[in-house]
Amino acid sequence: MEDGSTALFYEKAKVDTLEPQDLIRTVTEASDLTLPGWEPEKMDRISELFEAYKTVDEEQLWENLEIFLKEILPVAEACGIKMAIHPDDPPWSIFGLPRIITGEPSYEKLISISDSPSNAFTMCTGSMGANPENDMVQVAKKYANRSPFSHIRNVKIYENGDFVETSHHTQDGSINIQGVVEELNKQNYSGYVRPDHGRHIWGEDCRPGYGLYDRALGIMYLLGLWDAYEAGKSGGVS
């Protein structure tokens, strides 16, 4: 990055032409590629995953999700537990695998399966926001009350479909983080908020995208926004 940090980068042209087996080989041969879920014991069986899903489409995924939710939601509701499904990252099909939690229409479809208060979302601004068609301020305005858990992070989107993770600062990326936090504040949001991902800075020894340093900066940025909006409510700022 221009500021000397490093960050996770999605290169669309490369991903679109990369065969799953090439991906597996690249990941297993590089010790520094250690994203969650890419552990060697899981990568050893990923070919089985592609084989199992080769005939599965979006409609079948929705059918499976509906069966799952209708089984667990009554128990979750009775126990006061909220299920918070995370959007697909990125929010489109990849490596020939269908993905279904990708934007507002998928939220509406999920609600249509069950209106139980336990049928909820994780609102991840970076995952869903990687598609510029998803206006995350509007998503927050409409669905924050159904989101007990929010992942607030920023990405910079390029015209060719590439995107890169950035700091949480609004001006560093393409997501209107200020607007998202303002909308949550307007609704007196009481769910959990995580300052997700960010850059790898200051030589921290960490997984790319999962360092503590930039997330620590991120939470203070988010809290600063929240405090400013709270002060505005009480007339503390002009």
CA 145, CA 68: separation in Å to the nearest integer?
23
Within-domain flag for 2: no
Within-domain flag for 88: yes
- In 3D, which of 105, 162, 101 has the Cα closest to residue 128? 101
Instruction: Give the range of the structural domain holding residue 54, as residue numbers without chain letter.
Output: 9-233
CA 94, CA 17: separation in Å to the nearest integer?
10
Within-domain flag for 108: yes
Catalytic positions are 86, 124, 151, 196-197, 210
Within-domain flag for 196: yes
| DSSP state, residue 64 | H
Within-domain flag for 131: yes
Helix (H, G, I), strand (E, B) or coil at 192: strand
Within-domain flag for 224: yes
Which residue has 């200051």 as its token pair? 202
pLDDT tens string for the chain (238 positions)?
888 899 999 999 988 888 877 777 777 776 666 677 777 787 778 888 888 988 999 999 999 999 999 999 999 999 999 999 999 999 999 888 899 999 999 999 999 999 999 999 999 999 999 999 999 999 999 999 999 999 999 999 999 999 999 999 999 999 999 999 999 999 999 999 999 899 999 999 887 788 899 999 999 999 999 999 999 887 765 5
Q: Which CATH number goes with the domain that contains 169?
A: 3.20.20.150
Within-domain flag for 193: yes
Cβ burial, residue 52 (10 Å; 0-12/13-18/19+): exposed
Domains: count for the chain: 1
